[in-house]
């Protein structure tokens, strides 16, 4: 018994070391990831978007989320409240008043920004998040332990957690339609957008395009490509006629957010036991207890 | 040898490919443009025209203008025929309406290079995966043109307004293309304004201005938005037009002069203008004319009533007297106008005294009336 208990502690150590050993590689895929020059992105032109919400419809459809009928999305009363992406809506469109032309309010689609230096990736202690070569930041159900650090770390409050679900709750966020984009397809929202307010292409080309648009229409756009530099650059970028703060796109410095999140993570590791290790320990203790009981039973017999 | 052969085939094939790429719009290579004014690459193709984002001709805003009544009445858009019934676009109606705003044809046919008017698809290609990101795709181009105006006044973005799902009933308005193509925006007959003045009522005969006075819509409606007339949330009358400015462009009036004010302002509705009150009854031929056919400028002053003041070519031999409803008998056929109409005063009674003693008109006639006398 002593022997097996010692074995367990050893194994736990190995698991711990294993996690510690495996994890950094995967996690560092974020901040230290070599970003592909050809990674893709989307340029959202908020001066073109009309708030038809077809992107919401298509996004749900592409992710097995019940999406009802297309005409349901003509309902514009949803704009009365600000919405955030959630477990059943990986992207949402919000509407803002346009003081310059009341007939044309400003509509802003929000979803995961697919950061180049994703805080969610560095925050995730089990490496469930990863930045893919095509620019997508995706999430692996099998690895996630539901700690929700990603939700805290994300500078755009994107990841959502299936609180309602008792069994295997998932983190839900826009995955850049990875199933489609990994094989050269285009995101569902981009495909459906009737206004082509969303342009899908290589990120560096999108930056060039955005510059040209601003240069050619200085009255139409403010001279700022949101996401070009924010939090170290994001795959999704925005153009707008008004300051992005007014459109509820948070002001961020050019410094990658993971710096901040790393300190959160380090603090967690400093003062707390990482959940997986905790689970492993607890599991181990249970196992030992069970064994002990068994032994006792055995000895009792 | 093999290498040579394959090279030969490659050249042939490439040649074929290149030559099968017919220019997008007819004779555009003959337009007074350099290739590189529009195309960024050396070998533009149909699929990848590599158009520079703002070629010079776009900056210069070259566009084609045509009178609105000389355009295709209906355009069928069936790019998505697999999903939806075709959208029927009332092109002429839109052309007429856009003439009232600043853009005219160019508000949709933006930056048309010299030559034929191009269909959207010539520059905007279908599909969201584009080789050339700088030119928006066909879907975005269409929707941008329609929705940017339509949502201004409908305040919605319903697809159903244009797209009927395959197999569904056609929208109200049906599929009677002849009827659709002849549809014109109804013209307001009369507008009665209530002002804050002492004589508050101003009656504006809108239809008379367009039908009788010969004004084009665009003469007054110069810088309209669609919403000005179509906004579902605002009543048309609530939208202020610059009344004095608009009227004064034709009617000379001094807004500080009370007498001038009374020309339009009254305590009750004014009757429509009747030309008879000026002492000149419009009938038969003259009532088919617009004001500006006879009067010029902004003062509608009294005109010379002599026929030849306008009808300069009315001389012996060129004037068919039967149009007056009177034909001469053989004896008088070759008379000179001035023989009867002294000093060419056609509005006065003709005289016989130049040739006959004791014969007066109309007791004795030099021919006969073929119809009631209506000429004036
Ligand atoms: S927006 Fe948030 S969830 Fe998306 S990649 Fe960036 S940090 Fe991760
Ligand atoms: S990229 Fe895909 S997952 Fe992301 S918002 Fe668009 S449709 Fe939704
Ligand atoms: S589908 Fe396009 S136009 Fe419609 S709300 Fe989404 S981004 Fe805007």
From B61, B88, B65, B79, select the one nearest B124 (Cα to Cα): B79
C-alpha distance from residue B60 to each of A133, A216, B109, B316 (Å): 42, 13, 14, 56
Tokens representing residue B295 in the block: 């009067």
- Between CA A28 and CA A122 the distance in angstroms is 7
DSSP H helical ranges for A193-249: 203-216
Looking at A133-147, A226-240, A283-297, B334-348, which range is the least confident one?
Answer: A283-297
Q: Among A82-86, A280-284, B90-94, B253-257, name the most confident range.
A: A82-86
Q: How far is the CA of B44 from the centre of ligand 3 (A)?
A: 31
The pLDDT score that the predictor gives to residue B312 is: 80
The residues that bridge with B77 in the sheet, in sequence order, are B87
Most confident of the ranges A139-148, B291-300, B312-321: A139-148
Answer whether A151's CB lies under 8 Å from A160's CB. yes
Task: Quote the Cα angle for A45-B132-A49, to 5°.
Answer: 15
Task: Find out whether the beta carbon of A171 lies less than 6 Å from any atom of ligand 1.
Answer: no
What tens digit of pLDDT does each residue of B266-313 get?
A: 999 988 888 888 888 887 778 888 777 888 766 677 888 777 788 887
**What distances in angstroms separate CA B246 from CA B240, B264, B300, one per listed residue?**
12, 13, 16
Q: Kindly report the length of chain A.
A: 301
Nearest in space to B350 (alpha carbons), one of B317, B318, B313, B375: B375
Do the Cβ atoms of A130 and A140 come closer than 8 Å? yes
A58-71 per-position pLDDT tens digit = 999 999 999 999 88
Answer whether B281's CB lies under 8 Å from B376's CB: yes
* A268 confidence band (pLDDT: 50, 70, 90): very low
User: Are the beta carbons of A48 and B140 separated by less than 8 Å?
Assistant: yes
Chain A residues near residue B162 by CB distance under 8 angstroms: none
**What was the pLDDT predicted at A177?**
97
Reduced to 3 states (helix: H, G, I; strand: E, B; else coil), residue A106 is strand
Query: In terms of Cα–Cα distance, which of A114, A177, A199 is closest to B129?
Result: A199
Of A48, A199, A91, which is closest to residue B127 (Cα–Cα)?
A199
B83 shares contact with chain A (CB less than 8 Å): no
Are the C-beta atoms of A213 and A239 separated by less than 8 Å?
A: yes
Max Cα–Cα distance, chain A, nearest Å: 89
Nearest to B70 by CA among B89, B96, B90: B96
Task: Please state, as a whole number, how many other Cβ atoms lie within 10 Å of the Cβ of residue B363.
Answer: 7
What would the two tokens of residue A92 be? 């949402």
> Of ligand 1's atoms, which has the minimum distance to the CA of residue A173?
3
Q: What is the A189 CA–ligand 2 centroid distance (Å)?
A: 6
| pLDDT value of residue A25 | 38
pLDDT of residue B175: 64
A282 or B259, higher pLDDT: B259
> Which residue has better confidence, A137 or B184?
A137
Residue B181 has pLDDT above 80, yes or no: no
Question: Which of A110, A115, A118, A69 minimizes the C-alpha distance to A89?
Answer: A110
Read off the pLDDT of each residue in A77-105 and give the average, rounded to a whole number.
Answer: 93
Q: Is B120 on the interface with A (CB under 8 A)?
A: no
The full set of domains in chain A, from first to last, is 32-267 (3.30.70.20)
**Which DSSP helix (H) or strand (E) runs through A130?**
strand A129-131
ipTM value: 0.72
**Token pair of B35 as six digits:** 């290739």
Tell me how far apart the alpha carbons of residues A64 and A54 are, in angstroms, rounded to a whole number.
16
β-pair type (B74-77, A92-96): unpaired
Strand bridging mode A198-202 / A40-45? antiparallel
pLDDT band at B63 (very low <50, low <70, confident <90, very high): low
Ligand 2 atom at shortest distance from the alpha carbon of A180: 2
Q: What are phi and psi of A223, to 5 degrees?
A: -85, 70
Separation of A54 CA from ligand 3 center, angstroms? 6
Ligand 3 close to Cβ of residue A53 (< 6 A): yes
Tell me the CA distances in angstroms from A38 to A180, A226, B284, one per residue in order: 17, 20, 78
Under the banding of pLDDT at 50, 70 and 90, the label for residue A33 is low
pLDDT given at position A269: 44
The mean pLDDT value for B182-186 works out to 74
Checking if the pLDDT of A292 tops 70, the result is no
Tell me what pLDDT residue B161 has: 77
> What is each CA distance from B191 to B207, B227, B269, in whole angstroms?
10, 19, 10
pTM of the entire predicted model: 0.69
pLDDT score, position A57: 97
Query: What pLDDT digit, counting tens, does each position of A205-229 carry?
Result: 999 999 999 998 899 999 999 999 9
Per CATH, which fold does B68-161 belong to?
Answer: Cytochrome C3 (3.90.10)
CA distance B155 to B161: 12
Q: What is the pLDDT of residues B71-84, one digit of tens each?
A: 888 888 887 677 77
Q: Is the per-residue pLDDT at A256 higher than 90?
A: no
pLDDT of A241 strictly over 60: yes
> What does the block give as tokens for B148?
């940017």
A24 pLDDT more than 50? no
- Search chain B and give the residue with CA nearest A191: B128
Q: Touching check for B127 and chain A: CB below 8 Å?
A: no
The pLDDT of residue A220 is 92
Contact B168, B159 (CB under 8 A): no
| d(CA A196, nearest CA chain B) in Å | 5
**CB proximity B79 to A under 8 Å:** no
CA distance A88 to chain B (A): 23
Which of B53, B155, B157 lies nearest to residue A52, judging by beta carbons? B157
Cα B327 to Cα A68: distance, rounded to the nearest angstrom? 82
Span B226-243, pLDDT tens digits = 777 777 776 544 445 667
pLDDT at A257: 74
Q: Which of A121-130, A155-164, B50-59, B102-111 has the lowest mean pLDDT?
A: B50-59
The pLDDT score that the predictor gives to residue B52 is 64
- Residue A138 to residue A118: CA distance in whole angstroms: 10
The per-residue pLDDT for A95 is 96
Cβ of A50 and B157 within 8 Å? yes
Q: Which of residues 219-238 of B touch A (CB under 8 A)?
A: 227, 231
The confidence score (pLDDT) of residue A215 equals 92
Q: Which of A39-53, A108-122, B285-299, B340-354 has the lowest mean pLDDT?
A: B285-299
Do B128 and A191 count as a contact with CB atoms less than 8 A apart? yes
Tell me the percentage of chain A whose pLDDT exceeds 70.
74
Which residue, chain included where needed, has tokens 């052969």? B5
Residue B61: pLDDT band with limits 50, 70, 90: low
What phi, psi does B328 have (nearest 5°)? Answer: -85, 155
Nearest to B151 among A50, A191, A212 (CB): A50
Interface test with A, best of B48, B133, B154 (most A CBs within 10 A): B133
pLDDT tens digits along B143-166: 988 888 888 877 777 787 788 877
A27 pLDDT exceeds 50? Answer: no
What is the pLDDT of chain A when averaged over all its residues? 80
Query: Å from B294 to nearest chain A CA?
Result: 44
On the 0-12 / 13-18 / 19+ scale of CB atoms within 10 A, A118 is buried
Ligand 2: atom nearest CA of A63 is: 3
Give CATH 3.90.10.10 domain extents, chain B. 68-161
Quote the minimal CA–CA distance from A28 to chain B in Å. 32
Please tell me the residue having the least CA distance from ligand 2 atom 1. A176
Query: For residue B53, what pLDDT is reported?
Result: 52
3-state secondary structure of B32: coil
Single out the residue of B120, B155, B158 nearest to residue B140, CA to CA.
B120
Average predicted confidence (pLDDT) for chain B: 75
Contacts of A220 (CB under 8 A, 6+ apart): A47, A213, A241
Could you tell me the two tokens for B216? 């084009």
% of chain B with per-residue pLDDT over 90: 2
Tell me, using a 6 A CB cutoff, whether residue A187 lines ligand 3: no
Structure tokens at B252: 């000379």
The DSSP result for B220-288, as a single string, is H--S--HHHHH-SSS-GGGS---HHHHHHTTS---TT-HHHHTTTEESSPPPPP-GGGGT----TTGGG
């Amino acid at each position: 018994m002593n022997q097996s208990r010692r074995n367990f502690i050893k194994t736990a150590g190995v698991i711990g070391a294993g996690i510690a050993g495996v994890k950094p590689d995967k996690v560092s895929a974020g901040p230290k990831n070599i970003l592909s020059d050809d990674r893709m992105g989307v340029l959202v032109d908020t001066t073109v978007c009309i708030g038809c919400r077809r992107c919401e419809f298509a996004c749900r459809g592409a992710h097995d989320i019940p999406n009802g009928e297309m005409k349901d999305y003509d309902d514009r009363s949803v704009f009365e409240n600000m919405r955030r992406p959630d477990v059943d809506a990986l992207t949402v469109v919000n509407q803002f008043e346009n003081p310059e032309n009341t007939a044309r309010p400003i509509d802003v689609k929000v979803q995961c920004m697919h950061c180049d230096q994703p805080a969610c990736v560095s925050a995730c202690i089990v490496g469930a998040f990863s930045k893919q070569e095509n620019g997508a930041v995706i999430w692996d159900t099998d690895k996630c332990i539901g700690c929700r650090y990603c939700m805290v770390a994300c500078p755009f409050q994107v990841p959502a957690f299936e609180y309602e679900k008792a069994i295997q709750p998932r983190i839900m966020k826009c995955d850049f339609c990875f199933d489609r984009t990994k094989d050269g397809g285009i995101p569902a929202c981009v495909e459906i957008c009737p206004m082509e307010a969303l342009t899908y292409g290589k990120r560096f080309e999108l930056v060039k395009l955005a510059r040209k648009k601003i240069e050619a229409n200085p009255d139409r756009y403010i001279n700022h490509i949101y996401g070009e530099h924010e939090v170290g650059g994001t795959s999704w970028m925005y153009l707008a006629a008004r300051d992005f703060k007014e459109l509820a796109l948070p002001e961020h410095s050019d410094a990658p957010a993971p710096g901040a999140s790393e300190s959160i993570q380090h603090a967690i590791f400093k003062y707390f036991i990482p959940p997986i290790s905790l689970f492993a320990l607890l599991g181990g203790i249970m196992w030992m207890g069970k064994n002990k009981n068994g032994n006792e039973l055995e000895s009792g017999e | 040898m093999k290498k040579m052969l394959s090279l030969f085939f490659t050249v042939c094939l490439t040649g074929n490919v290149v030559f099968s790429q017919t220019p997008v719009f007819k004779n555009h290579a003959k337009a007074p443009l350099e290739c590189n004014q529009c195309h960024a690459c050396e070998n533009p193709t149909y699929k990848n025209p590599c158009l520079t984002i703002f070629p010079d001709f776009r900056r210069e805003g070259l566009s084609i203008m045509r009178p609105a009544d000389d355009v295709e009445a209906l355009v069928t858009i069936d790019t998505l025929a697999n999903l939806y019934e075709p959208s029927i676009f009332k092109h002429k109606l839109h052309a007429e309406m856009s003439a009232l705003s600043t853009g005219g044809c160019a508000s949709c046919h933006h930056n048309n290079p010299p030559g034929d008017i191009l269909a959207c698809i010539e520059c905007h290609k279908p599909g969201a995966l584009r080789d050339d990101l700088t030119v928006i795709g066909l879907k975005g181009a269409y929707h941008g043109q329609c929705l940017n105006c339509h949502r201004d006044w409908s305040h919605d973005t319903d697809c159903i307004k244009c797209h009927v799902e395959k197999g569904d009933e056609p929208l109200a308005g049906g599929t009677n293309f002849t009827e659709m193509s002849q549809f014109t925006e109804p013209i307001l007959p009369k507008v009665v304004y209530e002002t804050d003045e002492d004589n508050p009522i101003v009656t504006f005969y809108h239809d008379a201005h367009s039908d009788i006075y010969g004004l084009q819509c665009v003469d007054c409606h110069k810088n309209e938005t669609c919403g000005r007339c179509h906004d579902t949330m605002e009543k048309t009358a609530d939208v202020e037009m610059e009344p004095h400015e608009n009227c004064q462009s034709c009617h000379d009036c001094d807004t500080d002069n009370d007498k001038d004010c009374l020309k339009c302002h009254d305590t009750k509705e004014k009757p429509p203008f009747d030309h008879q009150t000026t002492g000149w009854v419009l009938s038969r031929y003259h009532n088919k004319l617009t004001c500006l056919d006879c009067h010029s400028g902004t003062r509608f002053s009294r005109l010379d009533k002599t026929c030849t003041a306008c009808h300069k070519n009315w001389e012996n031999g060129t004037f068919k007297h039967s149009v007056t409803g009177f034909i001469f008998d053989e004896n008088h056929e070759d008379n000179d106008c001035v023989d009867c109409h002294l000093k060419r005063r056609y509005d006065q009674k003709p005289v016989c005294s130049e040739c006959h003693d004791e014969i007066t008109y109309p007791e004795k006639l030099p021919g006969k009336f073929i119809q009631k006398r209506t000429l004036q």
